[in-house]
RNA sequence: GGACCCAUAGCUCAACGGCAGAGCACCUCGUUUACAUCGAGGGGGUUAGAGGUUCAAAUCCUCUUGGGUCCACCA
């Protein structure tokens, strides 16, 4: 043993040793208790960041349960990450002076496919470098043929049961990215803008005779106004209800209607209603049977439904033009400063344009209701428990989920519109004819699924075979088979991920997972926090405060990085990460190594003199050590089983360093020769047992030391019960 | 407007109803069977404030103040 532990001499070799000996390959073993985690699949398009290193919590659980003697499965995968990946790829194209419009769909898809396959290998090797005990023989990709098929079948089932529908609705559309988004992808930003007050006169020739004044932040949308709304109890407008005003510039008549959603305290208490470009107005329009007039197009320009001078103008140009016109007409009553929240694209930051489009939606309410039951009845437990409330809040507040994306990279929505029957049908195989009229006069949608729609099915899709999935589609087919991976490992034991994707992923997995399998997809949810920089700021390239996990591993070893992410942190809280943390843990690992080295050197001395008769006697120091260790182990097991991984690590850290090394080893130096031999026999055992307990946290160094002591084999020969 | 979280040593944080702790930083000393990526010792706290429950509160409850995060259809 060298005086210093040098991670790079061991880590790669040890990981290869684990892989070669198939230590992490799970199988169905009825005699053992199953313990399973599905790794949240990292995006296949990029390197891992420090956030991914937080999956160390999963590794801790997996290795802990393996040491308890359970049959464990940690299943790795990669996410095609639809829009995210396409966005990254387009930036890549831009560097070459090209764009997505230079290629047809098939070519573009193939290019992204190649791009992703390259990066994916890289990402998977980085997971290995972190030391994760993943079962690589079962790795999955969201675009694997069988996964795609399951995703489509789920969609069909949702469609058949009326929970997936196609509807023309106001969707969140980013004209820059060229796709619609679900509500969750819209980021609201506080922006300073203006509120314009516009008079809609009774008589366009005589505005001085009065009219109704509306307030708006988006004057250009007035070209698509279909009514003016006031609150039913607003006395100011009581006499105007049902009357008509003139819509300036376009010279159409607008009726004054009443609706509860109008806030009498805002602006003038009278709202211009633009059904095509505002979701609230869309709702009003539905209640009052108003027509829909789309004045802005998917390219962010004014449509042919606007007066000619506006057509083809961009939204902001049109806004100026409208304001100028109104000024000329003397109808711009006033303008005031106004800060309001504007929906922006979470990716490119552009203002989201609410547009009417035919998109596919998942009816969330019935699914959320079932999911809620699972949480309330504690069929699924959440750690830390503060997230229970948050999850329940979300399940109560989901709107219908827009799963249509107008992008190439993803799974095509298998929906087809029959021109004869005038309705949609869904078929997971590519259809030859409409199942109702048997004609082949139909159109297939070009839309792809929101990535999260496939992710939502990850726990069961990764474990099921396609055949098994079909059974869920038609429950009548009785096909007996022996216990499969799915039977054995599903519901998975734990879902561990960052709390930031609770509504995006966790909630949806519960909803969809239960819908398909009638079981919760997992029994426990464990949530970790975000990794921030030293000062608590988000890490970002623009701030230049990003810490690369691979660089940390290079410098200090994977174990040090892993410990730094767990030591003295609170589960579910953000951690402020600094390189010093890693250095501290590197020191601890070296200490651990040197305790081993000290014991090992003494062992050598001892065995040289084998004639010394060992009489087992209870020396006071030994009794104290036994008691101390027993206490530590008891606490350790208790903490580990209640998901308190950081306190368990602190406990081991303190025991090893400040008790075992600083106290027991120092005291042992003072013992008489015979007592010393006696003491060291047991000290070695205690130390090796500590290695086993620490192994889930720092797998490499503990395995390395183990192999020095035992010459061959792996630490997994030992199990924690016997410790 | 709603919800959630946080406030403990100079800094970063533990302690989850039972003697306020660790790492880093600071000061003093120390090469002895491993480790200077080390050891021995030291200074530093009315646990944001007020009230309550309790034999006992950093911890549970209420309020106040100061921060942070997430959400919402104020046009």
Q: Which residue has the higher pLDDT, A478 or A307?
A: A307
Per-residue pLDDT at A36 exceeds 70: yes
Q: What is the pLDDT of residue A675?
A: 84
pLDDT tens per residue, range A488-534:
999 999 999 999 999 999 999 999 999 999 999 999 999 998 898 88
Distance in Å, residue A183 CA to nucleotide B68 C1': 24
**Mean pLDDT, residues A579-583:** 88
- Give the 3-state secondary structure of residue A27: coil
pLDDT of A319: 96
Asked if residue A85 has pLDDT above 90, the reply is yes
φ, ψ of residue A304 to 5 degrees: the values are: -75, -5
* CA–C1' gap, A386 and B61, in angstroms: 18
Strand B near-CB residues (< 7 Å), A 12-71: none
pLDDT surpasses 80 at A605: no
Contact A24, A133 (CB under 8 A): yes
The nucleotide minimizing the C1' distance to residue A663's CA is B39
Cβ atoms of residues A410 and A381 within 8 Å = no
pLDDT reading at A723 higher than 70: no
pLDDT, one tens digit per residue, over A200-223 is 999 999 999 989 999 999 999 999
A265 CA to B1 C1', in Å? 14
Q: Are A212 and A220 in contact (CB under 8 A)?
A: no
Residue A414 is given by DSSP the state: -
Nearest residue to nucleotide B13, by CA–C1' distance, is: A568
Lowest mean per-residue pLDDT among A122-136, A398-412, A567-581:
A567-581
Q: Kind of pairing, strands A531-532 and A575-576?
A: parallel
* pLDDT (0 to 100) of residue A59: 96
The predicted model gives A642-654 an average pLDDT of 89
Q: CA of A343 and C1' of B55: distance in angstroms? A: 57
Would you place residue A608 in the very low, low, confident or very high pLDDT band (cuts 50, 70, 90)? low
pLDDT at residue A111 is higher than 70: yes
Place of tokens 């305790």: A595
State the nucleotide closest to A216 in CA–C1' terms.
Answer: B75
Q: Gap from A692 CA to B17 C1', in Å?
A: 33
Å between A280 CA and B4 C1'? 27
**CA A550 – C1' B21 distance (Å)?**
33
- How far does the CA of A659 sit from the C1' of B21, in Å? 16
Q: How many helices (H) and strands (E) does chain A have?
A: 23, 25
Which residue places its CA closest to the C1' of nucleotide B4?
A390
The distance (Å) linking the CA of A564 with the C1' of B48 is: 29
Closest CA to A292 of A337, A346, A227: A227
User: A620: how many CB neighbours lie within 10 A of its CB?
Assistant: 9
DSSP state of A73: E
Asked whether residue A686, judged by its CB, lies under 7 Å from any atom of the DNA or RNA strand B, the reply is no
Instruction: Tell me how far CA of residue A53 lies from CA of A85, A505, A560, A647, in angstroms.
Output: 21, 19, 12, 19
> What contacts A491, CB < 8 A, 6 or more positions away?
A459, A519, A520, A521, A522, A523
What three-state secondary structure class fits A667?
Answer: helix
CA dihedral A356, A359, A365, A366 (to 10 degrees): 150
Per-residue pLDDT at A132 = 97
- A380 contacts: CB under 8 Å, gap ≥ 6: A374, A510, A520, A522, A523, A524, A525
Residue A139 has pLDDT above 90, yes or no: yes
Inter-CA distances, A58 with A76, A143, A189, A594, A643, Å: 11, 24, 35, 28, 11
The separation between CA A217 and the C-alpha centre of its own chain, rounded to angstroms, equals 34
Residues with Cβ within 8 Å of A630's Cβ and at least 6 positions away in sequence, in order, are none
Nucleotide with the nearest C1' to A277 CA: B75
Strands (E), A368-411: 381-383, 401-402, 404-405
- For residue A678, whether the previous peptide bond is cis, meaning omega lies within 30 degrees of 0, is no
Cβ within 8 Å of residue A414, ≥6 positions away: A152, A155, A156, A426, A427, A428, A430, A444
Do A351 and A197 form a contact (C-beta atoms < 8 A)? Answer: no
Distance in angstroms, CA of A686 to C1' of B18?
A: 30
A527 Cβ within 7 A of any nucleic strand B atom: no
pLDDT in tens, A687-701: 999 999 999 999 999
What does each C-alpha distance from A97 to A106, A113, A184, A454 come to in angstroms?
20, 20, 32, 32
**End-to-end CA gap in chain A:** 24
Identify whether A522 is preceded by a cis peptide bond (ω within 30 of 0): no
Give percent of chain A with pLDDT exceeding 70: 96
Cβ of residue A680 near strand B, that is under 7 Å? no
Q: Which of A619, A611, A589, A594 is nearest to A680 (CA)?
A: A619
Burial environment of residue A317 by CB neighbours within 10 A (0 to 12, 13 to 18, 19 or more): middle
Q: Which helix (H) or strand (E) holds A190?
A: strand A186-201
pLDDT at A431: 92
Instruction: Name A residues 531-590 whose Cβ lies under 7 Å from strand B.
Output: 534-536, 568-570, 573, 575-576, 580, 584, 586-587, 589-590
How far out from the chain centre does Cα A711 lie?
A: 43
User: What span, in angstroms and rounded, lies between the C-alpha atoms of A531 and A543?
Assistant: 15
Q: For strand B, give the nucleotides within 7 A of a protein CB.
A: 3-6, 12-16, 21-24, 33-40, 71-75
- Phi then psi for residue A117, to 5 deg, are -60, -40
What gap in Å lies between CA A472 and CA A103, rounded to an integer?
39
Q: Please give the Cα distance from A329 to A249 (Å, whole number).
A: 9
Q: In what helix (H) or strand (E) does residue A252 lie, and over which residues does it extend?
A: strand A252-258
Nucleotide with minimal C1' distance from the CA of A673 is: B33
Question: Measured from the CB, is A126 under 7 Å from any atom of strand B?
Answer: no
Question: Residue closest to B25, CA→C1'?
Answer: A580
Q: How confident is the model at residue A610 (pLDDT cuts 50, 70, 90)?
A: low
Cα A666 vs. chain centroid, distance in angstroms? Answer: 49
Give the CA A388 to C1' B64 distance in Å.
Answer: 28
A86 CB neighbours strand B below 7 A: no
* CA A205/CA A329 separation, integer angstroms: 10
Do the beta carbons of residue A579 and residue A552 sit within 8 Å? yes
Average of pLDDT values for A298-324?
95
Q: What is the DSSP string of A628-652?
A: HHHHHHHHHHHHHHTT-HHHHHHHH
Which of these ranges, A81-95, A214-228, A370-384, A593-607, has the smallest mean pLDDT?
Answer: A593-607
Residues A169-187: pLDDT tens digits? 999 999 999 999 999 999 9
CA–CA distance, A175 with A49 (Å, rounded to integer): 30
Instruction: Measure the CA–CA gap between A718 and A723, rounded to whole angstroms.
Output: 8
Q: What is the mean pLDDT of chain A?
A: 91
pLDDT digits (tens, 9 = 90+) for A45-60: 889 999 999 999 999 9
Residues 6+ apart with CB under 8 A from A211: A199, A200, A201, A202, A203, A245, A246
Residue-level pLDDT at A615: 58
Residue A523: name the closest of A361, A669, A379 by CA: A379
The DSSP annotation for A50-65 comes to: HHHHTTHHHHHHHHHH
- In whole angstroms, give the CA distance from residue A414 to residue A160: 13
- Does residue A474 carry a pLDDT above 90? no
């Amino acid at each position: 043993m060298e005086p210093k532990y040098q991670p790079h001499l061991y880590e790669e070799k040890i990981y290869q040793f684990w892989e070669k000996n198939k230590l992490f390959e799970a199988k169905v073993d009825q005699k053992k208790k199953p313990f399973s985690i599905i790794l949240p699949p990292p995006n296949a398009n990029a390197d891992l960041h420090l956030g991914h290193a937080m999956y160390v919590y999963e590794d801790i659980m997996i290795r802990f349960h393996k040491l308890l003697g359970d049959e464990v499965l940690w299943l790795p995968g990669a996410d095609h990450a639809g829009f995210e990946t396409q966005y990254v790829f387009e930036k890549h194209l831009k560097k070459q002076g090209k764009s997505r419009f230079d290629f047809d769909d098939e070519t573009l898809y193939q290019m992204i496919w190649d791009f992703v396959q390259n990066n994916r290998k890289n990402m998977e090797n980085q997971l290995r470098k972190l030391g994760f005990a993943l079962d690589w023989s079962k790795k999955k990709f969201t675009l694997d043929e069988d996964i795609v098929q399951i995703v489509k079948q789920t969609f069909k089932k949702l469609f058949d049961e009326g929970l997936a529908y196609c509807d023309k609705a106001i969707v969140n559309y980013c004209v820059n990215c060229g796709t619609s988004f679900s509500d969750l992808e819209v980021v609201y930003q506080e922006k300073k803008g203006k509120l314009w007050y516009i008079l809609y006169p009774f008589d366009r020739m005589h505005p001085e005779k009065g009219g109704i004044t509306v307030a708006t932040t988006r004057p250009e949308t007035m070209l698509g106004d279909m009514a003016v709304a006031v609150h039913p109890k607003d006395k100011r407008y009581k006499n105007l209800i049902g009357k008509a005003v003139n819509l300036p510039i376009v010279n159409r008549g607008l009726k004054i209607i009443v609706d509860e959603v109008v806030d009498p305290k805002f602006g003038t208490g009278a709202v211009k209603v633009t059904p095509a470009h505002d979701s609230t107005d869309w709702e009003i329009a539905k209640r009052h049977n108003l027509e829909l007039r789309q004045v802005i197009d998917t390219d962010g320009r004014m449509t042919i439904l606007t007066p000619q001078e506006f057509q083809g103008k961009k939204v902001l140009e049109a806004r100026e033009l409208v304001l100028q016109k109104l000024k000329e007409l003397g109808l711009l009553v006033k303008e005031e400063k106004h800060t309001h929240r504007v929906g922006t694209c979470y990716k490119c930051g552009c203002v989201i344009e609410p547009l009417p489009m035919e998109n596919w939606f998942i009816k969330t309410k019935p699914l959320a209701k079932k999911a809620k039951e699972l949480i309330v009845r504690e069929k699924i437990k959440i750690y830390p428990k503060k997230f229970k409330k948050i999850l329940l809040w979300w399940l109560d507040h989901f709107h219908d989920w827009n799963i249509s994306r107008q992008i190439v990279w993803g799974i095509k929505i298998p929906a087809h519109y029959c021109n004869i029957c005038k309705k949609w049908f869904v078929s997971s195989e590519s259809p030859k004819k409409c199942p109702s009229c048997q004609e082949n006069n139909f159109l297939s949608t070009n839309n792809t699924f929101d990535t999260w729609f496939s992710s939502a099915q990850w726990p069961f899709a990764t474990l099921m075979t396609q055949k098994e999935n079909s059974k869920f589609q038609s429950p009548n087919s009785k096909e007996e088979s022996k216990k499969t991976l799915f039977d054995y490992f599903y519901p998975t034991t734990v879902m561990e991920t960052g709390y930031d994707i609770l509504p995006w992923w966790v909630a949806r997995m519960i909803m969809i997972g239960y819908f398909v399998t009638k079981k919760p997809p997992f029994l426990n949810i464990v949530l970790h926090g975000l990794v921030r920089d030293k000062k608590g700021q988000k890490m970002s390239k623009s701030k230049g405060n990003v810490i690369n996990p691979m660089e940390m591993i290079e410098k200090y070893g994977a174990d040090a990085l892993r410990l730094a992410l767990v030591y003295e942190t609170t589960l579910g809280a953000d951690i402020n990460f600094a390189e010093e943390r890693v250095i501290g843990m590197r020191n601890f690992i070296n200490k651990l190594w040197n305790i081993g080295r000290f014991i090992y050197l003494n062992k050598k001395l001892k065995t040289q003199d084998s004639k010394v008769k060992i009489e087992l006697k209870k020396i006071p120091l030994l009794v104290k050590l036994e008691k101390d260790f027993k206490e530590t182990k008891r606490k350790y097991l208790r903490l580990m089983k209640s998901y308190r991984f950081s306190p368990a690590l602190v406990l081991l850290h303190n025991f090893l360093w400040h008790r075992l090394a600083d106290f027991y080893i120092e005291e042992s130096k003072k013992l008489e020769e015979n007592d010393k031999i006696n003491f060291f026999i047991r000290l070695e055992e205690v130390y090796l047992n500590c290695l086993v307990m620490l192994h889930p946290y720092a797998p490499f160094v503990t395995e390395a030391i183990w192999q020095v002591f035992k010459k061959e084999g792996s630490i997994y020969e030992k199990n924690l019960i016997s410790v």
